[in-house]
Amino acid sequence: MKGYFRKRGEKWSFTIDIGRDPLTGKRKQKTVSGFKTKKEAERACNELIHQFNTGSLVDDKNLTLSEYLQEWLENTAKQRVRDTTFINYRRAVNSRIIPVIGSHKLKDLKPLHGQRFVKSLIDEELSPKYIEYIFIVLKGALEDAVKWELLYKNPFEHVEIPRPRKVVNNTWSIEETKTFLTYAKFDNPIYYHLFLLALNTGMRRGELLGLKWKNVDLVEGKVSVTETLIYDELGFRFTEPKTSGSKRLISIDQDLCKKL
């Protein structure tokens, strides 16, 4: 099975064959449009073909939000994001979204349902940042439902959510940093070197904990970031950085090399 792509004006669309009508014998096709680039259309086409091949392509007018979200998690979100992100998506869907509005039929969702859902999260006294995250997951899933023509438009497009407060970062002064390193060196030399590397390179926690000696060149003064240590439902494990740009070569000075 393959898709057929077409550009109309500034937007791309694709069409795939989904079998034949059992009564007429005529070929059945599904067309999805509205993509800004051909690459976006190709990715969506591949996802749709995957759903068709696994028997999970749905076109049910009685489909509930809960049923749709489970399909979306396994056949769309899982293909797009890292394992850790997928686990967070699934947790938000199963623990926060489905118990509150999962029983509603997908086609019957209205903006008011979305606003009431957000209010229920506020009433639980969840942080505005976490509420925003949950709603982004839900809204993104509904955007895909629009692409798959299960919805005409996203009913939660204009639902208002509490905006997280802007956080003012209080950075350490040079003297405060020196004091911290002095105590760290006295308390635990191993962590001292970890903190020293963090302060000199700006590496993330997972990158620091995932760093191996084979990726540290003390002669040339280079640190190669190729892995990160994560913890999820499977326990501690090494994985690739989140983006290709996160893989990088960092220069460190000779003073740091000597201390390491």
Q: Is residue 159 part of a domain?
A: no
- The domain tally of the chain equals 2
Does 138 share its domain with 42? yes
Distance of alpha carbon 132 from alpha carbon 47, whole angstroms: 26
pLDDT of 82 over the 70 cut: yes
Task: Dump the DSSP string for 192-252.
Answer: HHHHHHHHHH---HHHHHT--GGGEETTTTEEEE--EEEEETTEEEEE--SSGGG-EEEE-
60, pLDDT greater than 60:
no
Confidence of residue 70 (pLDDT cuts 50, 70, 90): very high
> Nearest 5°: phi and psi at 222?
-130, 140
In a domain, 192, yes or no: yes
Q: Are residues 8 and 118 in the same domain?
A: yes
Q: For residue 33, how many other CB atoms are within 10 A of its CB?
A: 14
Let me know the angle formed at the C-alpha of 56 by 48 and 32, rounded to the nearest 5 degrees.
25
The secondary structure of residue 163, as a DSSP letter, is P
| 55 pLDDT higher than 60 | no
Instruction: Give residue 105's pLDDT band: very low, low, confident or very high (50, 70, 90).
Output: very high
Provide the residue range defining the domain that includes 91: 4-147
Integer CA distances (angstroms), 210 to 95, 215, 241, 249, in order: 30, 10, 10, 15
Tokens 């070929």 found at: 27
Q: How confident is the model at residue 197 (pLDDT cuts 50, 70, 90)?
A: very high
Together in a domain, 138 and 15: yes
Interatomic CA distance for residues 201 and 223, integer angstroms: 9
Q: Do residues 109 and 41 both lie within one domain? A: yes
**Is position 202 within any domain?**
yes
